[in-house]
Amino acid sequence: MSAPPEVLILFTRAPRPGAVKTRLIPLLGPSGAAALHRRLTEHALGAAREAAARRGARLAVVHDGAGREEMAAWLGGDLVFHPQAGGDLGGRMRAAFAFAFAAGAERAVLIGTDAPGLDAAALEEAFERLRGEEIVFAPAADGGYALVGMTARAFRAGTPHFDPGMPWGTEGVLALSLGRLRDRWRTAGLLPTVADVDRPADLPAAFALLGRKPGRPAISVVLPARDEAGLLPGTIASLAGHAEVEAVLVDGGSRDETREIAARGGLRVLPGEPPRAWQLNAGAALAEGEVLLFLHADTRLPPGYPGIVRRALAAPGVAAGAFRLGIDARGKGLRLVERGANLRSRLFGLPYGDQGLFLRREVFWQEGAFPPIPLLEDFAFVRRLRRRGRIALAPAAVATSARRWLRLGLMRTWLTNQALVAAFLAGIPPRRLAACYRRGTEPQALPATGR
């Protein structure tokens, strides 16, 4: 059987925390960055499968960071897998093309996984361009490129654009590559420019592209958790019964059955790391809904919450919303706490995390996500959101656990919260505040979802 004349190469790495999307780790955490890499790779593979099937091309995954068995278990055993080799990035790409042409291909196109705008049509266009040109690039918005294609004849003539000394990862890569090709003897064709995903500023456009999927949920509920096996079943029960809702739990290192309970309850489970801001942002990166709802794992949503969320966000001038605070215990003191929190939320637009903050996904990423600080990430983010529009207070209330008020006492909890906010506004670094908070209120650390 003759070899296909075209080979499509997907150039990727195993989604190992700390080894991929490293420039996004400060915002998403190691596990969150790895989860985003996984999602981007699967998106790219979907486009590659579609293009390869239409053209009868061979699809090869040239990979790093794992063996063939692990990659096949992730991406599918029907694919051709080949390990990366050859030194720096240019050397590894040259080796990938050598692998493709050694199998008898006439044309090969290599793509990475960082440009979700490269759909099947763009990949097919690259192959068509190679029928009349010998080299083709898809420029990336940052000055690099997201796709490079070559004919076998061009490869045999030399690959100066892969030679040592190329400043990979900088904005001059494409210009320098084109210059080297012109110096040798030939020009290259250019496809339309696409956006790639390397830095936090790239995320809004990336998630807009990743969200173009039929049947995606309307609302994604993101739950950060650690050791919440006792209260999580009640929270899961409050989420159930809504086909337009998905739930993503990001576990911060539980030692109990939190992950297993979440999985049995139909939640998508993502490993994560403290601080809670990393868990929240990582869950948002995995979520597919048009609206993000951030909920503590010890807090139950009110009946009919999807409609409540939609109506609140549809109001003119609303940037985000939250539910009224309800505390799941009796006591006059707790009722005072509820009234104070709801008055603050209504008058000043400052709901805290217990209240189930919700907003459109594009707004979340455009506003930079939760700041990666160890404490008060919700307070800091809501203050930023108020510049964009009103924070609506929904008419219904959540039911959150009273455990921290009962454990520490009403007055001590209230004074601690006020002191933290005042110190934060005075400019004291959040890391120092977190250390003081742990010493003053957590003889044995409070659960990650409660303050």
Cα separation, 71 vs 88, in Å, equals 22
Q: What is the DSSP string of 190-240?
A: EPPPB----SGGGHHHHHHHHT--TT--SEEEEEEESS-TTTHHHHHHHH-
What's the rounded Cα separation, in Å, for the pair 202 and 219? 23
Domain residue spans in the chain? 6-200, 215-441
Q: What's the token pair of residue 424? A: 């934060």
Q: The CATH number of 215-441 is which of 3.40.630.30, 3.40.1190.10, 3.30.310.40, 3.90.550.10?
A: 3.90.550.10
The answer to whether the Cα torsion of 204, 205, 207, 211 is positive or negative is positive
Q: What is the pTM of this model?
A: 0.90
- Count CB-CB contacts under 10 A for residue 192: 10
Residue with tokens 């420039």: 23
Class of the CATH-defined domain 6-200: alpha beta
- Alpha carbons 63 and 103: distance in angstroms, whole number: 18
Per-residue pLDDT of the chain (451 residues; tens, 9 = 90+): 456 799 999 999 999 999 999 999 999 999 999 999 999 999 999 999 999 999 999 999 999 999 999 999 999 999 999 999 988 999 999 999 999 999 899 999 999 999 999 999 999 999 999 999 999 999 999 999 999 999 999 999 999 999 988 999 888 899 999 999 987 766 789 999 999 999 999 999 998 888 767 778 999 999 999 999 999 999 999 999 999 999 999 999 999 999 999 999 999 999 999 999 999 999 999 999 999 999 999 999 999 999 999 999 999 999 999 999 999 999 999 999 999 999 999 999 999 878 999 999 999 999 999 999 999 999 999 999 999 999 999 999 999 999 989 888 888 888 888 899 999 999 999 999 888 877 755 433 333 333 3
Q: Please tell me if the domain spanning 6-200 has the same topology as the one spanning 215-441.
A: yes
